[in-house]
């Protein structure tokens, strides 16, 4: 028996694939199988009970949203395993992306807290400190990863929408972090911050184009499979 999946189920499946993509195995595969099996069973149960599709979708989406903290805790616990730091330095994209996801809202809220609203100075100062630490962490991780890669005996370059998208995302993280660190500096560092912002914009364009290319390729392949 097949069960049609709606946007909520696809979103939940995308989330579990996203936070387990670079997880060590077999833990990642086991987590994906467990969550997807639970979701499939819920869809089957809703169909057998002839519940409205909207109700089943809201239930799946609600479970996915409520489970986000537990999912993040699960992933952080895996990162405590021996050898994970070594792995991330060899494959820095996922770590840079995670730090970038934390950095963007922290820096934006810190800037907003500097506005005329009273009583937010302490919050803005704390978030600014967090943003600086995240920026420094991104720069350090990128620097160490590039140094290790420069001294590696062999470097494999892979070209494609996925690899370009990941490289652009890593570049966005490093450029945003650099621009944030030096945006209040004077002289050469101020110019360097401006160049970093310009580079971030270019990397963002490349990222969007890579995402569009990947979607177009997927649609083309799916249409070709259907037509054949």
pLDDT of residue 115: 63
171 and 96 Cβ atoms separated by less than 8 Å: no
103 and 134 Cβ atoms separated by less than 8 Å: yes
CA distance 36 to 9: 9
pLDDT exceeds 90 at position 128:
no
pLDDT of residue 136: 93
pLDDT exceeds 80 at position 61:
yes
The mean pLDDT value for 33-59 works out to: 80
pLDDT in tens, 98-123: 899 999 998 888 888 776 655 667 77
Give just the sign of the alpha carbon dihedral 96, 98, 100, 102. negative
CA distance 3 to 98: 33
CA distance 154 to 12: 38
pLDDT of residue 222: 52
The mean of the pLDDT values for the chain is 82
Which pLDDT band, with edges at 50, 70 and 90, does 13 fall under? confident
pLDDT exceeds 90 at position 175:
yes
Higher pLDDT, 149 or 170: 170
Count other C-beta atoms under 10 Å from residue 46's C-beta: 18
CA neighbor of 167 nearest in space, from 189, 142, 195: 142
Q: What is the 3-state secondary structure (H, E, C) of the chain?
A: CCCCCCHHHHHHHHHHHHHHCCCCCCHHHHHHHHHHHHHHHHHHHHHHCCCCHHHHHHHHHHHHHHCHHHHHHHHHHHCCCCCHHHHHHHCCHHHHHHHHHHHHHHHHHHHHHCCCCCCCHHHHHHHHHHHHHHHHHHHHHHHHHHHHHHCCCCCCCCCCHHHHHHHHHHHHHHHHHHHHHHCCCCCHHHHHHHHHHHHHHHHHHHHHHHHHHHHHHHHHHHHHHHHC
Instruction: Kindly state the tokens that stand for 120.
Output: 């937010």
pLDDT of residue 172: 94
Q: What is the pTM of this model?
A: 0.73
Which pLDDT band, with edges at 50, 70 and 90, does 158 fall under? low
pLDDT exceeds 90 at position 202:
yes
pLDDT of residue 196: 92
CA distance 71 to 174: 26
Could you tell me the residue ranges of all domains in the chain?
7-78, 84-227
pLDDT in tens, 138-155: 999 999 988 887 776 555
pLDDT of residue 226: 42
Distances (CA, A) of 100 to 8, 81, 135, 145, 180: 26, 23, 8, 16, 12
């Amino acid at each position: 028996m097949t069960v049609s999946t709606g946007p909520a189920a696809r979103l939940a499946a995308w989330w579990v694939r996203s936070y387990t993509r670079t997880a060590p195995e077999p833990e990642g595969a086991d987590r994906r199988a467990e969550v997807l099996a639970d979701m499939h069973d819920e869809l089957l149960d809703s169909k057998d009970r002839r519940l409205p599709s909207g109700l089943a979708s809201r239930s799946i989406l609600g479970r996915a949203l409520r489970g986000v903290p537990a999912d993040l805790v699960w992933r952080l616990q895996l990162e405590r395993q021996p050898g994970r730091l070594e792995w991330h330095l060899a494959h820095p994209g996922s770590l840079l992306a995670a730090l970038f996801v934390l950095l963007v809202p922290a820096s934006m809220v810190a800037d907003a807290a500097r506005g005329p609203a009273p009583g937010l100075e302490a919050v803005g100062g704390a978030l600014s400190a967090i943003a600086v630490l995240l920026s420094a962490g991104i720069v350090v991780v990128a620097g160490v990863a590039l140094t290790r890669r420069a001294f590696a005996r062999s470097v494999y370059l892979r070209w494609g929408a996925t690899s370009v998208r990941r490289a652009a995302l890593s570049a966005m993280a490093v450029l945003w972090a650099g621009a944030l660190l030096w945006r209040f500096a004077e002289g050469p560092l101020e110019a360097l911050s401006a160049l970093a912002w310009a580079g971030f914009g270019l990397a963002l364009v490349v990222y969007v184009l890579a995402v569009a290319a990947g979607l177009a390729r997927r649609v083309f392949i799916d249409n070709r499979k259907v037509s054949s």
